[in-house]
């Protein structure tokens, strides 16, 4: 009888990070962060089953089946992409991808990284997977339409409040900018968004041009 392997962190290679990913998913920003940091890491893609769910072996790692998950060097697992960005950037302060705690820049960095996760990311899920948000399939079209309206509002707020940048805290790229660029790429009207929101356009293009990020964007077929 075949049994799905049970996850045991003691059996894992704990010499580096291991990112469980899927092309174009929320793992893209974390993968890009690792590329910029040049720290040892492994990428393992998580396929979907025929019904669109996660395979059993992955559910043993992340019971919600969501991508990404991250195995830390000590073998423990964390989920939530924004939390990964904050934690990993803080673990490598020499790279300067996270403002120092207690500074005004740190406050804005945390504000907008969390804003992206709690508003834009969550709304993107409603936009692209509206059937998940109601027990009645007839609601899907209305959920999708409202999500598109909410995204337009949320991007407008970010574009105005972040200032002329080119990055969220000014002239220095942080993990929050990488995360935001990923979210921008998921827009249902990327050309229109970039045309209408010049500050977001500068951030998106500056992140995408980074020599270590560009290959990650290409691997994940990011626009």
CATH assignment of the domain containing 152: 1.20.1050.10
State the residue range of the domain holding 55: 9-95
How does DSSP classify residue 6? Answer: P
pLDDT tens digits, 90-100: 999 999 999 99
Is residue 56 domain-shared with residue 87, that is, in the same domain? yes
- What local confidence, expressed as pLDDT, does residue 163 receive? 85
pLDDT-based confidence at 144, cuts 50/70/90?
very high
Model confidence, pTM: 0.91
Integer Cα distance of 196 and 174 in angstroms: 23
Q: Is residue 4 part of a domain?
A: no
Q: Is residue 183 part of a domain?
A: yes
Tally the domains of the chain. 2
**Apex 25 CA angle, 22 and 27, nearest 5:** 75
Whole-Å CA distances, 137 to 84, 111, 131, 140, 146: 34, 35, 6, 6, 15
Q: Is residue 223 part of a domain?
A: no
């Amino acid at each position: 009888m075949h049994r799905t392997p049970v996850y045991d962190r003691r059996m894992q290679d704990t010499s580096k990070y291991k990112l469980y990913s899927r092309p174009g998913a929320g793992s893209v920003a974390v993968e890009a962060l690792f590329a910029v940091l040049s720290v040892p890491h492994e990428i393992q893609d998580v396929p979907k089953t025929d019904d669109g769910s996660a395979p059993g072996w992955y559910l043993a790692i992340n019971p919600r089946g969501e991508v990404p998950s991250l195995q830390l060097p000590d073998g423990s697992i964390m989920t939530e992409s924004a939390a990964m960005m904050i934690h990993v950037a803080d673990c490598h302060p020499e790279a300067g991808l996270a403002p120092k705690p207690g500074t005004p820049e740190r406050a804005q960095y945390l504000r907008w990284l969390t804003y992206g996760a709690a508003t834009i990311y969550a709304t993107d899920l409603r936009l692209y997977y509206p059937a998940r948000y109601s027990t009645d399939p007839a609601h899907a079209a209305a959920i999708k339409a409202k999500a598109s309206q909410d995204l337009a509002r949320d991007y407008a707020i970010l574009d105005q409040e972040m200032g002329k940048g080119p990055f969220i805290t000014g002239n220095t790229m942080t993990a929050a900018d990488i995360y935001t660029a990923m979210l921008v790429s998921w827009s249902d009207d990327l050309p229109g968004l970039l045309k209408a929101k010049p500050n977001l356009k500068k951030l998106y293009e500056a992140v995408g041009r980074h020599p270590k990020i560009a290959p990650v964007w290409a691997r994940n077929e990011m626009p």
